[in-house]
A and B are shown apart, each in its own frame.
Chain A
């Protein structure tokens, strides 16, 4: 093993150790506890302002949003959980008040379809790579030679345009 090869291996080993240690520290100490005010804002960011256009309660200063923020603060004072507060808002204003759609029923498709899309795209990439890898080293057919010739013939030198 050459000296430079050993150096590369050492850098890799050291980097992996540092990464593992750093990620462990980061993972163990998740961001700290929130104040009541911050918790209000975080819940408010997941609730739609009922009287505004395209804004969350956290974004809006409309009277309805101010009232909902006050209600969230009151409910936090009563010891309700974040999900409990969101559920109470959905009961009071309807499910469309929540900016995070339900994961059940027909609406749940909005969560499922991205997974289907991701799986499909991975499958397409795998199939494409396999198909294209089969072309390696193949002897070109006359048709393929024609295709290449056509591609080369329509090659336009930018300087001529």
Chain B
């Protein structure tokens, strides 16, 4: 078998080309040498070739069950179905780094292709150099401590255990990690351009504009990736929840929070020329947090139910994180004078002021999540005591922050840039306030109780009202094109987020959970539903044996939650059964099959769970619409246009940004 040497050749090629590309692009950018700059195309191609060769070698090893490779011996199995065998590549640490490198190489090639005409521009050159450095780090990991092509110590095993059982009983495992990585890695593009802008001193809005779609793309992938992970957790883990504030979940949420703040504050810089330092800081923080998250969850310093891969490469990742932060802060400090903001805020009742508040909220949210995640480590380091910071803490912190964010989402979209009169503000907020009243009244009418959830529904209604109002105005002005661009797509993302927020509110306040013992022939009632145990059914396929409980729900349909055992493993994995409707899910999960018969199950009533995933899909759709270019798009100058006090002129200004029509 030549999988190991082939893979190592790929890694060596990727590493060598990354290092050469970093030096070449940097030298070309510094000296303004166009011929050298064009060599970046060749190096990017070689990096991508190296990544593809390494991935092909690994997949070939997994498919052919080449147990000479330690990684295949760890995650491969002759009994694992094909799709999970392919996905096994990212089911443990070394393969995850390989996937990361592949995605990074893909982005590198995409950047080279996109900017091929201006590759000699020093800004592009330094950005490419930064991307090559990031590539070199990840290929370096694979050449050293995270080598996926290490050979086993003889004797070579005849078979392997396969991926962790939790990773091979749901198809989402084939999609969730790659999509999440597209989000994480995607932020290296705007980060690299930010570094390029700082080095060249061209810290205006140019770098920001040309990376706008890359940023949105990364944000969209990260959003969808997080939600797919949440969906996987709900469908697989069997405890009936979708978000546990687990360190791995927090590690994905942190860059999402800072990136979301950036997506908003970048508009302030583009329209009003302000917040340059802040925007650069947010972008550098977003990229750094993706690295910090990798360190926290893959180095073994924090335990997590999602951490299927641990290694001893913590110091290397931590060193790269520190390097990233130091370089970012150093460059921002170096360019301090050029980063002075020339713009001004005319009124507190303006969109830029609302975005400032929005950014403060996201920053506090990120701080709270980071604090809660690392605080146990800090206390242990300081005092040697072990403490836990879990879901009760994060829930308590997230509720006021979430309500405050919804409040801003209800106000900010209808605020004009620069300033607004009291009358105009009252007019524009009429739809949000009416929507808040309607939604709150409707929620109370159908039985919603509790002041916090009622506020959540009301503010959600107001935020949806504000977003739909803006969308309506935009569509009325630009017809179908009004659905696209920053305003159209952005407001659809808002609507998706509101759907998600309302579903989270309902799930948090009204989900009900109980553990029940079921016996044959005895009906059990819970939360208005009737459950009757009808017996069990044993299923055996090559990769697993499974015992299903047959449970009749409400006398009409049979649900089959099961316990599975994969590839002869001693670990049993529960597979929940879910009856989904638009109003809520009935979620059944097996705890155990007692020897005396029957089944011990967890029953969860999860209101509006369907809308969690719908909200995520709408957010994804909105992101796509905001990325899609509209015809005749033209740039706004970095400083805002002359004062536009009326709604009509404000909409006209908005349309210049979203459609490019003056």
Residues of A at under 8 Å CB distance from B?
A: 5, 8, 11-12, 14-16, 18-19, 21-23, 25-27, 29-32, 35, 37-38, 40-42, 45-46, 48, 52-56, 58-61, 66, 69, 94-102, 106-107, 109-111, 113-114, 117-118, 121-122, 124-125, 128-129, 132-136, 138, 140, 144, 147-148, 150-158, 160-161
Within B455-479, which residues are at the interface with A (CB < 8 Å)?
455, 458
Q: Is B430 interfacial (CB-CB < 8 Å)? A: yes
Taking CB atoms, residues of chain A closer than 8 Å to B639 are 148, 151
* B375 A110 Cβ-Cβ under 8 A: yes
Q: Are A15 and B512 in contact (CB under 8 A)?
A: no
Give the residue of A8, A54, A150 whose beta carbon is less than 8 angstroms from that of B427: A8
Given A46-B391, A129-B348, A157-B635: 18 more A-B contacts, CB < 8 Å: A8-B427, A8-B430, A11-B430, A19-B440, A22-B458, A26-B448, A31-B509, A41-B514, A54-B304, A96-B385, A97-B388, A99-B391, A101-B375, A117-B368, A125-B360, A133-B344, A133-B345, A150-B204
Instruction: Please judge, given known A-B contacts A14-B437, A54-B247, whether A151 and B204 are in contact too, CB under 8 Å.
Output: yes
Would you call B441 and A110 a contact (CB within 8 A)? no
From B121, B361, B396, B441, residue with most partner A Cβ within 10 Å: B441
Question: Chain B contacts of A125 at CB under 8 A?
Answer: 356-357, 360
Q: How far is the CB of B379 from chain A (nearest CB, A)?
A: 6
Using Cβ atoms and an 8 Å threshold, which residues of chain A touch B273?
A: 148, 151
Q: Is B56 part of the contact surface with A, judged by Cβ < 8 Å?
A: no
B383 is an interface residue with CB less than 8 A from chain A: yes
Cα–Cα distance between A96 and B382 once the two chains are bound (Å): 15
Asked whether any CB of chain A lies closer than 8 Å to the CB of B154, the reply is no
When the two chains form the complex, which single residue of B364, B379, B390 contacts A117, counting CB atoms closer than 8 Å?
B364
Nearest 4 A-B pairs (CB), nearest first? A99-B390, A135-B344, A26-B454, A156-B206
Which of A21, A136, A150, A152 is within 8 Å of B338, CB to CB? A150
Considering only residues 261-287 of chain B, those with a C-beta below 8 Å from chain A are 273-274
With A23-B451, A29-B449, A151-B273 known as contacts, the answer to whether A59 contacts B237 (CB < 8 A) is yes
B341 at the interface (CB under 8 A from A): yes
* Structural contact, B513 and A98, CB atoms closer than 8 A: no
B155 within 8 A of A: no
Report B410-443 CB contacts with A as 1/0, cut-off 8 Å: 0000000000000100110010011011101101
Determine whether B550 belongs to the interface, using a CB cutoff of 8 Å to chain A: no
Nearest-neighbor residue (CB-CB) of B574 within chain A:
A61
Q: Which one of B21-29, B85-93, B145-153, B238-246 is at the interface?
A: B238-246
Chain A residues within an 8 Å CB radius of B301: none
Q: What is the CB-to-nearest-CB distance from B13 to chain A, in angstroms, rounded to a whole number?
A: 29
Contacts across chains A and B counted by CB atoms under 8 Å: 250
- The proximity string for B residues 293-332 relative to A, scoring 1 for CB distances below 8 Å and 0 otherwise, is 0000000000111110000000000000000000000000
With A122-B360, A132-B345 as contacts: A101 and B387 at CB distance below 8 Å? yes
On whether A114 and B204 interact (CB within 8 A), knowing A25-B444, A61-B591, A95-B387, the answer reads no
Bound state CA distance, A138 and B303, in angstroms?
A: 55
Contact A11 B433 (CB under 8 A): yes
Beta-carbon contact of A41 and B515 below 8 Å? yes
In whole angstroms, how far apart are the Cα atoms of A38 and B512 in the complex? 7
Known A-B contacts A54-B304, A97-B388, A133-B345; the reply to A31 vs B450 at CB < 8 A is yes
The docked-state distance in angstroms from the alpha carbon of A121 to that of B342 is 22
Once the chains are docked, how many angstroms separate the CA of A69 from the CA of B393?
A: 21
Known: A31-B510, A53-B307, A135-B344. A114 touches B368 (CB 8 A): yes
13 residue pairs of the A-B complex, CB under 8 angstroms, read: A15-B434, A23-B454, A26-B450, A54-B307, A59-B244, A61-B592, A95-B385, A107-B379, A113-B367, A117-B367, A140-B342, A152-B637, A153-B204
Cβ-defined contact, A22 with B454, below 8 A: yes
Given A31-B449, A129-B348, decide whether A155 and B444 contact each other with a Cβ distance below 8 A.
no
Query: Cβ of A27 and Cβ of B364 under 8 Å apart?
Result: no
Q: Could you tell me if B389 and A110 are in contact, using CB atoms closer than 8 angstroms?
A: yes
Residue B118 at the chain A interface, CB threshold 8 Å: yes
Say whether B356 contacts A129, CB under 8 Å: yes
Which of B115, B237, B454, B514 meets A38, CB within 8 Å? B514
A66 touching B591, Cβ below 8 Å: yes
Tell which of A37, A48, A52, A129 touches B390, judged by Cβ atoms closer than 8 Å: A48
Q: Could you tell me if A155 and B635 are in contact, using CB atoms closer than 8 angstroms?
A: yes
Contact of B451 among A26, A140, A158 (CB under 8 A): A26
Residues of chain B contacted by A56 (CB below 8 angstroms): 244, 390-391
Q: Which residues of chain B come closer than 8 Å to A54, judged between CB atoms?
A: 244, 246-247, 303-307
Q: Is B340 touching A147 in the complex (CB atoms < 8 A)?
A: yes
B372 at the interface (CB under 8 A from A): yes
A52 to B237 CA separation, bound complex (whole angstroms):
13
Instruction: Tell me which of A99, A106, A128, A148 contacts B392 (CB under 8 A).
Output: A99
